[in-house]
């Protein structure tokens, strides 16, 4: 499965409303638990102003943004780790995602029932965290028993594997998420093979009422404080307003955005934050046929970036021609950039930077 972000939350917090707005879907979520039985998968464009800047200098037939895959996962309930509700299925869906977007209800509406009877973001987050930790503890226990067996057989590296499994299990058993465990890069890579949900990066999304835009309210402030302690990101939005904006053509959104003190739909920020959460960045190709943002992991070398376009580009990579959007803004054309000596030739060890504009030379 490609890198994806799973929208997780209790029932009736606005997950499906936000998902439908993100994917420009028109269906509205029903006002009862388990309204989304199977996860919906949507491909969401990542807004990037740099594409428009490139287009002002290089005329093209089409502009293609980067995308991020979003999975709408049905509402989690207390006891999910023990199979309550549709627990086992939901947990399996979360395991398949690369990161978690935790949707938190920060609005009060008597017409939208809350599964716990009242609005309390900290309680809701605690319920979800606990269910994921309990499920992960069970997973870690199985891994620990396997490591114990291997250690007895004298298998290579078995003692280190056992020590790590013991640490992870003890941490989870104390009710703590795996992502908060202090690990070396090597240990973190090893823990990634455990398949733990609480090891995944988290982004909190506070769904507030219309009157609390653009900055949120006391409830969302508590989520911000919690996220700050955890080193997690936060996006504040109003699902209802975002759904209204999604119904409008981009050119017609200005008045509604201004009414709520917004400069762009909050979903644009959300898409960019999800992209960042997955450890992704973009480089561009630009020509008469298309200007396109290509998705690569942060730290990718030039041949790997070339391989995103076509595997032959990576196999036969010779070098890359590179310049920046700033160079294009300053000089106006690729020809002028080349004449100014700012068109760089980079080899196989070049670490691609976010926003590079690239052409690849290759030989198959």
- List of domains in the chain: 4-277 (3.40.50.300), 299-362 (3.10.20.30)
- Chain-wide mean pLDDT for the chain? 90
pTM of the model: 0.88
pLDDT digits (tens, 9 = 90+) for 257-292: 999 999 999 999 999 999 999 999 999 999 999 999
Nearest to 30 by CA among 85, 74, 77: 74
Residue 205, pLDDT > 70, answer yes
Give the three-class secondary structure for 132.
Answer: helix
pLDDT digits (tens, 9 = 90+) for 116-125: 778 999 999 9
Of all residues in the chain, the percent with pLDDT exceeding 70 is: 91
Cβ–Cβ under 8 Å, residues 207 and 106: yes
**DSSP secondary structure of 287-336:** -SS-EEEEEEETT-BHHHHHHHH-HHHHHTEEEEEEEEHHHHHHH-SHHH
pLDDT digits (tens, 9 = 90+) for 230-261: 999 999 999 999 999 999 999 999 999 999 99
Alpha carbon distance 84, 11 (integer Å): 13
């Amino acid at each position: 499965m490609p890198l994806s972000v799973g929208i997780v939350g209790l029932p009736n917090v606005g997950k499906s409303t936000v998902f439908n707005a993100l994917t420009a879907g028109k269906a509205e979520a029903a006002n009862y638990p388990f309204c989304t039985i199977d996860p919906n998968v949507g491909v969401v464009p990542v807004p990037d102003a740099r594409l428009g800047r490139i287009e002002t200098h290089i005329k093209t037939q089409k502009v293609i943004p980067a995308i991020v895959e979003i999975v709408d996962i049905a509402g989690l309930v207390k006891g999910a780790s023990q199979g309550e509700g549709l627990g086992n299925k939901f947990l399996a869906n979360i395991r398949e995602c690369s990161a978690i977007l935790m949707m938190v209800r920060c609005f009060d509406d008597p017409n939208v029932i809350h599964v716990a009877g009242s609005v309390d973001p900290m309680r809701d987050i605690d319920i979800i965290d606990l269910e994921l930790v309990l499920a992960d503890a069970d997973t870690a226990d199985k891994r620990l028993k396997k490591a114990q067996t291997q250690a007895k057989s004298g298998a290579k590296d078995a003692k280190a594997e056992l020590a790590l499994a013991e640490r992870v299990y003890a941490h989870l058993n104390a009710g703590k998420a795996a992502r908060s465990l202090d690990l070396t890069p090597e240990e973190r890579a090893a823990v990634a093979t455990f398949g733990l949900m609480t090891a995944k990066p988290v982004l909190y999304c506070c769904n507030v009422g219309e009157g609390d835009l653009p900055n949120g309210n006391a409830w969302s402030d508590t989520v911000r404080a919690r996220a700050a302690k955890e080193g997690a990101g936060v996006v504040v939005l109003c699902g209802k307003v975002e759904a209204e904006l999604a119904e409008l053509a981009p050119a017609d959104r200005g008045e509604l955005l201004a009414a709520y003190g917004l400069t762009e739909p909050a979903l644009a920020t959300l898409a960019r934050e999800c992209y960042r959460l997955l450890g992704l960045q973009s480089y561009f190709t630009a020509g008469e046929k298309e200007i396109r943002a290509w998705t690569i992991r942060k730290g990718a070398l030039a041949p790997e970036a070339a391989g995103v376009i076509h595997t032959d580009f990576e196999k036969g990579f010779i070098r890359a021609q590179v310049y920046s959007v700033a160079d294009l803004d300053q000089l106006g054309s690729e020809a002028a950039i080349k004449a100014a000596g700012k068109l760089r030739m980079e080899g196989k060890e070049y670490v691609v930077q976010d926003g590079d504009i690239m052409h690849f030379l290759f030989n198959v």
